[in-house]
Amino acid sequence: MIQMYIPLNFLGVIYREIKQSLTDLDKMFLLLEKEREVRDAPGAQPLAGRDATVRFEDVSFAYEPARPILKHVSFEIPAGKTVAVVGPSGSGKSTLARLLYRFYDVQEGRIVIGGEDIRHVTQASVRQAIGIVPQDTVLFNDTIEYNIAYGRPGASHDEVEAAARAARIHDFISSTPKGYQTMVGERGLKLSGGEKQRVAIARTLLKNPPILIFDEATSALDSANERAIQAELKSAAQNKTTLVIAHRLSTVVDAHEILVLEGGVIVERGTHLQLLARDGRYAQMWALQQIEAAEPVL
């Protein structure tokens, strides 16, 4: 019976994946690849969820042994606060998010949620506690309703609509011929980067996890869209423990702490005002972005 159950269960997973038919197959395989990287420890229990404080304690990590990516990274996101990470492309910012979501296990140090090492609890319970708004949201070739409800399977239409309103995507959805039943994705209605991120925010609002990871899109949205997304994110992050991977410094001004990551090392840390006063890397990046923002768009 057990022998039968495992392959059938596996087929069930495959069937679900095919049915959902991700718009980006490469991403699906990447995701499945990552799923295989970590295994629950024998007898692992779910996260107790005592509180949503996140701590990286002296974390080092490499995808390949010869190339360390993160080196002795330590920081804390107190429950309900926002910590933002900035730094050049390739410095390891998104890797922090992947480790917190436990796509990979750290090789040195530990990541702790509410006092518990995430390697010692079930992966599913860690992912249940975290909502991710990724850089590029993967939409399923299904209705927009399904795509939002994916945040909490079994959610009612009213709950989906409330999340869509909060993420300010409801009006857009209502303007499409079939509303919430409109098919999206590769074989349906194509959404812009900003619209996709709003779907991801709606999904996350519906899931209502205590911890939020927001990986800001690198591709520039138009400034009205960007401001709108930032406002929605701010309301989504209220009272949640939030890690923001920021590409635009305007996102981080209100953060409890800003970490400047370079080559996998935290080279500066503090609030926006503290870092400006320090007149170091962050202040340089800030000055540069001010100049860029002031340049006329040709």
Q: What are the residues binding ligand ATP (CB under 6 A)?
A: 63-64, 69, 87, 89-95, 218
Per the CB < 8 A criterion, the answer to whether 110 and 60 are in contact is no
- DSSP reduced 3-state for 192: coil
Residue number with CB closer to ligand ATP (155 or 200): 200
Instruction: Please enumerate in sequence order all residues whose Cβ is within 8 A of that of 30, keeping only pairs 6 or more positions apart, or say none.
Output: none
The residue count for the chain: 298
Query: Shortest approach of ligand ATP to residue 98 CB, angstroms?
Result: 7
Residue number with CB closer to ligand ATP (169 or 244): 244
Residue number with CB closer to ligand ATP (46 or 88): 88
**CA 207 – CA 227 distance, rounded (Å):** 23
- DSSP reduced 3-state for 149: helix
Query: Shortest approach of ligand ATP to residue 116 CB, angstroms?
Result: 24
Query: Shortest approach of ligand ATP to residue 279 CB, angstroms?
Result: 23
Query: Shortest approach of ligand ATP to residue 88 CB, angstroms?
Result: 7
DSSP state of 298: -
Residue number with CB closer to ligand ATP (34 or 272): 34
Residues facing residue 117 across a β-bridge: 112
For residue 18, count other CB atoms closer than 10 A to its CB: 10
Residue number with CB closer to ligand ATP (26 or 64): 64
Burial of 275 (0-12, 13-18, 19+ CB in 10 A): buried
Query: Shortest approach of ligand ATP to residue 100 CB, angstroms?
Result: 12
Q: Determine the residue type at 132.
A: I
Query: Shortest approach of ligand ATP to residue 264 CB, angstroms?
Result: 7
Q: How many CA atoms lie within 13 A of 199 on its CB side?
A: 26
Nearest C-alpha neighbor of 251 from the set 289, 297, 279: 289
Residue number with CB closer to ligand ATP (10 or 63): 63
